[in-house]
Structure 1
Amino acid sequence: MKPILISVFCLFIFNGFSYAQNKKEWLEDIEYYKKTLEDKHINLYHTISKKEFNTEIKTLKHKLSTLNNFQIIVELMRITQKIGAGAGDGHTSVPLWNKELNKYPLELINLDGELKVVSITSKHQQCLGKTLKSINGIPVEEIYKKVSKLTPFTENNYSLMDRTCSYMVISEILKALHIITNTQNVEFTFIDEQGINMSIILKAYSKDALTKINYKKIKNTHSSIAVSKDEKNKNFWFTTLNNSKTVYINFNAYPLKDDITNFSKQIYNVIETNKSKHLIIDLRDNHGGDFFKGLILANYLNACNSINWQSNVYVLINRKTYSAAMVNAIQFKQILHAKLVGEPTGSNPNGYQDLGQFSLPNSKLLITYSKRKFRFQNINTNGLQPDVYIDLKWNSYKNNKDDVLNWVLKDIAKVEL
């Protein structure tokens, strides 16, 4: 019995030491977090006062003994969002990029306050298109309110809707907020358009495991657009429509500088060869990158003389048009005389941007911050406002009807008549 007792005693001592050491490391991390943000952020106290920030830090330090590791991370997410008040400084955040997270295999979209299922496992495809009502018996409105106070890269209501839907399916966040206790068997309850409830049990999966799951999705494509099958260029490609009179550019992500230069030359050659008249640049779902790369594209496009620069250049935007993509949308409007069509963007034209980052010394938690303040228009607006506002409607979305692109194609058709 003695060896067993000694082993248990040693284990107790080790765990106690490990626990105390962990809290000491968190104190170091929190102090480093505060000092580094003050040193590196262009203007840390533009929204939150220094007094309020110091109070938040002091309160978190006092609470450390009552929190587990991920609850501490969640508290840092909440405090960091308050730096921009969830509005003016989305680039200052705790994005969880370098953390091993587990997510539930479904994707949600917020339409008129209802969280609709747009992707889910094939096993539960009967829930596709239904509205999420509760998780673990807790009403979705309560969960949404809690998670929305943590989300990174939130600058306005449009980015808030997008980010909250994404972070609501992370099991570690739900557990830290006491919404769930068992991450592997959680009840999700949905309601259909007839008011009938349906509950299923979902398990959380790692990032790698999620890629191996078969999903049923509501596809968001357009019948006129031949989507690129090139895996390398799946987020940056172009095609022609209307007997090459129209060039459609899918700009979902930023490629390497050399790639965008070569790509821009190809588009220029196609436009010049076919004497194309109409230009559509689709910046929807582009989360950002380097807006100077977008200017390379604009430079080549501006040299195309056949385009109807007076009225037939369009840039498509939505709530998932962020950061550099939002900036390029403004620049394309200015340089290419483009008409902005769709939803307001998730990023604001005026505010703190240009992302920098650092890691906390012990936890290695990644923190991002704003290095610059940009002002791309004369008035402050919540999101870049489109010239033609087209709201995202569920009836169109579920039937794979792209109202934004349809409006543009009809507008082009008027010219061709």
Structure 2
Amino acid sequence: MKQKILITLFTLLITVISFTNSLENEKWIEDLNYLKTELPKLHKNLFYKISEKEFNSYIDELSSNINKMNNKDVLLSLDILFTKIGDAHTGISYSYSNEFDSFYPFDIMEFEEGFIVVDSSKEYEDIIGSKLIAINGFSIDYIKNQLSKIIPHENEAALIKALPQNIIFPDKLKYLNIIENKDKTFFLFEKNGELILKKILSEKISNRKNIQYSIIKYKPNFLNKYNNSFFDYIYFEDSKIMYFVYNQCYSVEVYDKYPDPRINREQLPSFEKIVGNMLDIIQENDVEKFVIDMRNNPGGSSSMGTNLAKIIGDFDKLKDNVYVVIGRRTFSSAIINTLDFKKYANAKIIGVATSGKPNHFGEIKSFELPNTKYKIFYSTKYFKFLNDDPDSIYPDIEIKMSLNDFLNGEDTIFKFIKNN
């Protein structure tokens, strides 16, 4: 009798699970059909790279296979679709920490020398400062190429930018057939000329706050204090350089023109006030070089930067001594402003290639999938600034941050500008 009750309960449990999964699958199928209908109507030109037939067929096939997939598989499959669309501003938004339950407890950064480990859990602190060479025998270049399947991008720089934040998630590596088991993953590093093969175990995302980390020992450089600033300036009187840190194309003036209820106006800086003070210093002092640093600028409203480029271009004493610093995070309106400084101030572009491209889709809007509530971002306008169509802004002078400069509190690019 007892055995019969257990069998009945087990059968009931399986039925409930199957019913729940069936409901979830139906929700996804409805959402995929909604995406199939709405996105082509809303996007400026969805089929400029992918054909309508290919788009519809992909969604139909995904819907037909939905009962074989978990939530992560569906999201990554949609990432593939958005990668095929080819517009870096169009995609699905989801939080890694909510959707992926485990990660490898270390972080890497791009330097001139390669991808260097800058922090890790205490258990693996011997790899800090080492260069990542391979994962399970697959080279970084191979992994980058595999990631190109699930990361909407328009150029190589976007993949380089995305690599550090993606390779620490075993679910993504497994989906791309780089690993088979998240706890049988071997990482190959190089440090001081010696190779280190390290088996690294994944940790639960939910346990992330409890993990003790070790961080690479470095001296902060002068830019660190401005990491959270929208924009600000530093006047280096000894070297006669005015340095403008431009991290956000947004200000109280932009807010007043386009109010956003999600943003607290009181916390926004005034572009007119800060730039006005900076221009007074340029006018009244022996400033010989002007630098605008947009390497960490993801965009916003381009009008402020355009006006500043025109003003800087009118200073005769800055002629041929204007520099724009760009990087992997330079994107959208910051791309436009880079071109502005080139056009109006004959600026030299310095740094590394941008993840955004000059001619690009933009002016993003969004909608929610009705059941799963994931947000879909899409472009409503196409910006054409150049007659040709390069995939990135490439610097006139390519300079990457060197590991040695980073550790010693120096900025490689500023050091170059100061000495040339």
Q: Same fold (TM over 0.5)?
A: yes
TM-score (norm 1): 0.83
Correspondent of 1:295 among 291, 303, 306:
306
Aligned partners of 1:345 and 1:279: how far apart in 2? 21
How far has the Cα of 1:353 moved from its partner? 2.5
Correspondent of 1:239 among 221, 234, 238:
234
Report SS of the residue matched to 1:239: strand
Confirm whether residue 277 of structure 1 aligns to residue 288 of structure 2: yes
Partner of 2:44: 42
How far has the Cα of 1:30 moved from its partner? 1.0
Partner of 2:124: 124
Correspondent of 1:90 among 88, 91, 115:
88
Residue type of the partner of 2:29? L
Report SS of the residue matched to 1:45: helix
Q: Is the 8 A contact 2:244 2:292 kept in 1?
A: yes
Aligned partners of 2:47 and 2:28: how far apart in 1? 23
Higher mean Cα deviation, 98-107 or 240-249? 98-107
Aligned partners of 1:212 and 1:336: how far apart in 2? 49
Aligned partners of 2:124 and 2:207: how far apart in 1? 20
Higher mean Cα deviation, 341-350 or 100-109? 100-109
Identity %: 27
Partner of 2:160: 161
Aligned partners of 1:236 and 1:210: how far apart in 2? 31
Residue type of the partner of 2:190? I
Residue type of the partner of 1:91? H
Q: Is the 8 A contact 1:151 1:167 kept in 2?
A: no
Partner of 1:319: 328
Confirm whether residue 67 of structure 1 aligns to residue 69 of structure 2: yes
Report SS of the residue matched to 1:28: helix
Q: Is the 8 A contact 1:97 1:366 kept in 2?
A: no
Partner of 2:396: 387
Partner of 1:194: 193
Q: CA 1:98 to 1:388, structure 2 compared with 1: closer, same or farther past 3 Å?
A: closer
Correspondent of 1:308 among 317, 324, 330:
317
Aligned partners of 1:393 and 1:230: how far apart in 2? 20
Once the two structures are superposed, the pairs formed by residues 357-396 of structure 1 within 5 Å of their partners are 357-390=366-399
Partner of 1:415: none
Residue type of the partner of 2:234? T
Gaps of 5+ in 1: 412-417
Q: CA 1:229 to 1:318, structure 2 compared with 1: closer, same or farther past 3 Å?
A: closer
Report SS of the residue matched to 2:92: coil
Aligned length: 400
Residue type of the partner of 2:374? L
Deviations along 1:267-311, one digit per CA (max 9) or x if unpaired, are 2233334353321111112222222343354466567x5x62311
Residue type of the partner of 2:39? L
Partner of 2:364: 355
Deviations along 1:19-53, one digit per CA (max 9) or x if unpaired, are 11111111111111222210111111111111222
Q: Is the 8 A contact 2:326 2:353 kept in 1?
A: yes
Deviations along 1:372-401, one digit per CA (max 9) or x if unpaired, are 111112222121122333356666666665
Aligned partners of 1:213 and 1:402: how far apart in 2? 29
Residue type of the partner of 2:147? V
Aligned partners of 2:363 and 2:285: how far apart in 1? 38
Q: Is the 8 A contact 2:132 2:187 kept in 1?
A: yes
Partner of 1:11: 13
Aligned partners of 2:239 and 2:285: how far apart in 1? 6
How far has the Cα of 1:316 moved from its partner? 0.7
Q: Is the 8 A contact 1:129 1:398 kept in 2?
A: no
Q: CA 1:199 to 1:231, structure 2 compared with 1: closer, same or farther past 3 Å?
A: closer
TM-score (norm 2): 0.82
Aligned partners of 2:251 and 2:227: how far apart in 1? 15
Confirm whether residue 333 of structure 1 aligns to residue 342 of structure 2: yes
Q: CA 1:169 to 1:115, structure 2 compared with 1: closer, same or farther past 3 Å?
A: same
Aligned partners of 1:38 and 1:22: how far apart in 2? 25
Aligned partners of 2:155 and 2:392: how far apart in 1? 7
How far has the Cα of 1:345 moved from its partner? 1.5
Deviations along 1:57-109, one digit per CA (max 9) or x if unpaired, are 2221222122111001100001110111xxxx211223434861554333334
Q: Is the 8 A contact 2:136 2:185 kept in 1?
A: yes
